[in-house]
Amino acid sequence: MNFGPIFLFLIAAGGVVFVALFLNRMLAPRKPNPEKLSTYECGEEAVGSPWIRFNTRFYVIALIFLVFDVEVLFLFPWAVNLKSLGMFAWIEMAVFIIILSVGLAYVWAKRDLEWIKPDSDEIQAALRQSSQTITDK
Amino acid sequence: MNITYNLPAIGTQLVLGAGVILVLLADLLTGKKNRDVAYQTTLTVLVLAGIICVMKWGSAGAGFGGQVFGDGFASFFNLAFLAIAFLVVFNSPNYLKRNEIDHGEYYMLILIAVLGMTFMSSAGDLLIFFLGLETMSISLYVLAGFHKSRARSNESSLKYLLLGAFFTGFLLYGIALIYGQVGSTNLADITSYLAGSANPLGGYMGVGLALLLVGLLFKMAVVPFHFWSPDVYDGAPTPVTAFMSAAPKAAAFAAALRIFYDPAISLGLPWDKTLWIAAALTITLGNFAALAQSSIKRMLAYSSITHAGYLMIGLAAGNELGASGMLYYLFTYGFMNVGAFTIAWLVNRRGEGNYLLSDFAQLGSRNPVMALLMSIFMLSLTGIPPLAGFFGKLYVFSAGVKAGLIWLVVIAVLNSVVSVFYYLRVMVIMYMREEEGLKDLEKAPTVAITAILCGLVILLLGLFPGPLLDLARESVLSLL
């Protein structure tokens, strides 16, 4: 097997990223103001520093999200080739989705889908303090 | 696309997979009251899978385009995994309740681990083998840390996870390199590549196979990749330790036989030297470390390292007798270990994390039946005839002699003599040591039944080793 082209492709892919960033740096006008330098949060105004303790719920939610994210990854090629794969593949995918649904049912029944707000005193204090420093600036 | 699916080839796996879902749902519906439903469902699933395995014994053939095999070899190991899992699960509720970790997930995780092992033993493709290995390992990582509130159990889980993930990297890199050279991950393709190549280890192949071997040696806990096992075995909940020391080890050896028995060793590649050194080191180090232990769990952990070393002789010999001897050895070894660990946690009186050999004091008068069974397990682990442990060693050692590994066998036999000391010490403590303030053992019928079953199997397979050895020989022949 010849892996030369793949290696070249990797180098080229990396190169494109650097060239794009470099050109952007060279060509773009730079006129910073405080509004531009603030963190962009999809239009929401940033309320504080992200360097606080996160609720571990995020981890569980992210994990569940990941499972269904990967599921889609399997579903796309399956959906494209379904006609040539036939009935067996359809049943296989149905089984796969049932297994995942059982997982979701498990998480649901164990109350891991219920969100607990980060309302501990410590986090509230951290939030207050960080918003204070922003208004001070 | 023309793939022959041949579902009977994975009949056992299908039952186990459905069983996992069933146990999970059953526990969700009934788990608030008690675990009885989850427990009984698990046992039923294991028995059903066993029945399917025996009914389809060796006749299912290849499935999914040669990616899985339902041959005799797979059936032999699958039956061993199922039997070990059944015995472990059977006596678990007592332990789980005693330690207040009675969660339904325990049963589900054991089933998932067994599912992974069955895929390892029947894999005809490196990727299926890898999937099985990961399915098994990840549930074992969780099982090792099942005692959530105990630091030792968490330590055990974390060590196992970190080192396991690290060595999985080696293994996967090996598979990637082999794929790079051969252009396929199918074992049949790899075999025909090795047979047809003038320089079989040229290119990426030598490194690839070596890395694959390293990954497997880690799972078998063979020196120099053994260092995790005493800590992990010691910290894990004891039924899990019994399970871990028997079944995954057998699964790793099954995969090693599938991958290396035909392609590499029989072609005269230089594995035998590597395996020779690893085996000699493993036997010696495991033995001398076991001498110094005061905890029965750690002693059995080091003893299981030693036994992995004995099994390596069969792998290094690379002949048919060695392979079938290994099958016999692994099958019987599971029963000895499950029995010994089960009695160990029943006898333990200082709580988890504090298993001392002295807990066995006066067991001979406190509970003669348990003491007798423990003696059977210890004698069988030592390799005293007419117990099953003797014949396992005999077959593996004679395979070593046949293959010309005389010095390795000499080292192994000398080490067996050393091992007599620490195995018999348990018996000496049981029958001769006096100690104050000992209570009677807790009444636990499931534990007694487990131990008696294990003892009977060892005794019967020791008195009549022929049928099982014939079966093992047939299974190995189906491998080629």
pLDDT in tens, A20-59: 999 998 898 888 888 788 777 777 777 777 787 777 778 8
Q: Which range of residues forms the domain containing residue B438?
A: 270-480
What's the rounded Cα separation, in Å, for the pair B133 and B179? 18
- Partner B contacted by A37 (CB < 8 A): no
What percentage of chain A exceeds 90 in pLDDT?
A: 22
Task: Name residues 180-209 of chain B within 8 A of A (Cβ).
Answer: 180-181, 183
- Partner A contacted by B464 (CB < 8 A): no
Which of the four pLDDT bands, split at 50, 70 and 90, describes residue B356? confident
Q: How far is B219 from chain A (nearest CA, A)?
A: 27
What's the rounded Cα separation, in Å, for the pair B90 and B421? 32
pLDDT at B45: 95
Within-domain flag for B295? yes
- With contacts defined as CB-CB under 8 Å, which chain B residues touch A85? 1
Determine whether the interchain pair A106/B24 forms a contact, defined as Cβ–Cβ distance below 8 Å.
yes
Determine whether the interchain pair A109/B28 forms a contact, defined as Cβ–Cβ distance below 8 Å.
yes
* pLDDT above 70 for B268: no
Q: How far is B444 from chain A (nearest CA, A)?
A: 31
pLDDT at B163: 94
pLDDT tens-place string over residues B297-309: 999 999 999 999 9
Indicate the DSSP class of residue B359: G
* pLDDT above 80 for A63: yes
- Label residues B380-395 b or e (16+ Cβ within 10 Å = b): bbbbbeebbbbbbbbb
Indicate the DSSP class of residue A84: H
Interface test with A, best of B15, B28, B205 (most A CBs within 10 A): B28
Q: Which of B5, B21, B181 sits opposite A102 (nearest CB)?
A: B21
Tell which residue, B199, B176, B196, B180, has the closest CA to residue B188: B196
Q: How far is A137 from chain B (nearest CA, A)?
A: 44
Residue B295 CB neighbour total at 10 angstroms: 18
- Partner B contacted by A88 (CB < 8 A): yes
* pLDDT above 90 for B413: yes
Which of the four pLDDT bands, split at 50, 70 and 90, describes residue B117? very high
Q: Which of A3, A99, A106 sits opposite B28 (nearest CB)?
A: A106
Determine whether the interchain pair A3/B1 forms a contact, defined as Cβ–Cβ distance below 8 Å.
no
Determine whether the interchain pair A1/B181 forms a contact, defined as Cβ–Cβ distance below 8 Å.
yes
- Partner B contacted by A84 (CB < 8 A): yes
- Residues B444-456 have a mean pLDDT of 92
* pLDDT above 60 for A122: no
- With contacts defined as CB-CB under 8 Å, which chain A residues touch B1? 84-85
Domains: count for chain B: 1
Question: Which of the two residues, B244 and A63, has the higher pLDDT score?
Answer: B244
- Residues B376-392 have a mean pLDDT of 92
pLDDT at A136: 57
C-alpha distances (whole Å) from A86 to each of A93, B6, B49, B191 are 11, 16, 29, 32
* Mean pLDDT computed over every residue of chain A: 81
- Partner B contacted by A102 (CB < 8 A): yes
Question: Which of the two residues, B60 and B249, has the higher pLDDT score?
Answer: B249
pLDDT tens-place string over residues B184-235: 999 888 888 887 877 777 788 888 988 999 999 999 999 889 999 999 999 9
C-alpha distances (whole Å) from B204 to each of A1, B137, B258, B464 are 11, 27, 21, 47
- Partner A contacted by B7 (CB < 8 A): no
pLDDT at B1: 44
Within-domain flag for B144? no
Which of the four pLDDT bands, split at 50, 70 and 90, describes residue B360? confident
Q: How far is B183 from chain A (nearest CA, A)?
A: 7
Predicted TM-score (pTM) of the model is 0.86
Within-domain flag for B170? no
Q: How far is A108 from chain B (nearest CA, A)?
A: 10
Determine whether the interchain pair A1/B1 forms a contact, defined as Cβ–Cβ distance below 8 Å.
no
- With contacts defined as CB-CB under 8 Å, which chain B residues touch A1? 180-181, 183
Tell which residue, B173, B296, B143, B149, has the closest CA to residue B230: B296
Tell which residue, B214, B267, B264, B11, has the closest CA to residue B122: B11
Q: What chain A residue is nearest to B17 in terms of C-alpha separation?
A: A99
Q: What chain A residue is nearest to B2 in terms of C-alpha separation?
A: A85
Determine whether the interchain pair A99/B21 forms a contact, defined as Cβ–Cβ distance below 8 Å.
yes
Could you tell me the two tokens for A110? 């164990």
Q: How far is B144 from chain A (nearest CA, A)?
A: 21
What's the rounded Cα separation, in Å, for the pair B132 and B190? 19
Q: Which of A84, A98, A99 sits opposite B1 (nearest CB)?
A: A84
